[in-house]
Amino acid sequence: MKYIQDYIKEVQRTAVLPTLTENELIKNFALCIFEKCGEVSGVIKKYLFHGHELDREKLIKELGDLLWYFTAICNIKENNLLALYNETNNSHFIDYPDFESEIYLMKILQDKSYEISTLFFNNSNNQYYLYSFLNSYLEFINVYDITLAEIMQANTDKLRARYKDKFTFEESKNR
């Protein structure tokens, strides 16, 4: 799928933090996954409990950021997102209970992000956690009728507007 390959290249273009070691990059990105899960939860909370309309655009933005950090970790650990996606779509590694509850699904996504951070803080390369996270992510976006291509395109558009050539600290601060 070309759009996934293009997205991987976009993440590679913007995931350059020259002052950080590989281990520091992984820790940074793992912490960012936690942060973004919280921001996704905030959008859902407002929709479910505060009487807001679902802010689909904001949800897509936060899901795009979450996917960016996940893809960056996959790139560092030399796990191709396209291969993971194909594997995830062809098999289910965890048999989840009923997916009708958005709260339960958000909890699973957060649990999987915790597993990823544990995995990388321990400097492991267990693909099961990556498959598991991606599977949960895909199930979550399906509940809200959002496609992976839609998320990737919105995130790519944002990154190209923000970082013309590649990531720079100056452009990051001045956005």
The whole-number average pLDDT for the span 86-90 is: 67
Side-chain half-sphere of 17: how many Cα atoms within 13 Å?
15
Q: What is the rounded distance in angstroms from the CA atom of residue 114 to the CA atom of residue 62?
A: 17
Nearest alpha carbon to residue 63 among 89, 87, 44: 44
Q: Please report which confidence band the pLDDT of residue 42 belongs to, taking 50, 70 and 90 as the band edges.
A: very high
Could you report how far apart the first and last alpha carbons of the chain are, in Å?
31
- 136 against 125, higher pLDDT: 136
pLDDT of residue 43: 94
Q: Please report which confidence band the pLDDT of residue 99 belongs to, taking 50, 70 and 90 as the band edges.
A: very low
pTM of the model: 0.82
Nearest alpha carbon to residue 84 among 27, 129, 146: 129
Average model confidence (pLDDT) across the chain: 80
The whole-number average pLDDT for the span 97-112 is: 59
Answer whether 132's CB lies under 8 Å from 115's CB: yes
pLDDT at 92 exceeding the cut of 50: no
**Which of 30-34, 93-97, 113-117 is the least confident region?**
93-97
Residue spans of the domains in the chain: they are 2-12+20-173
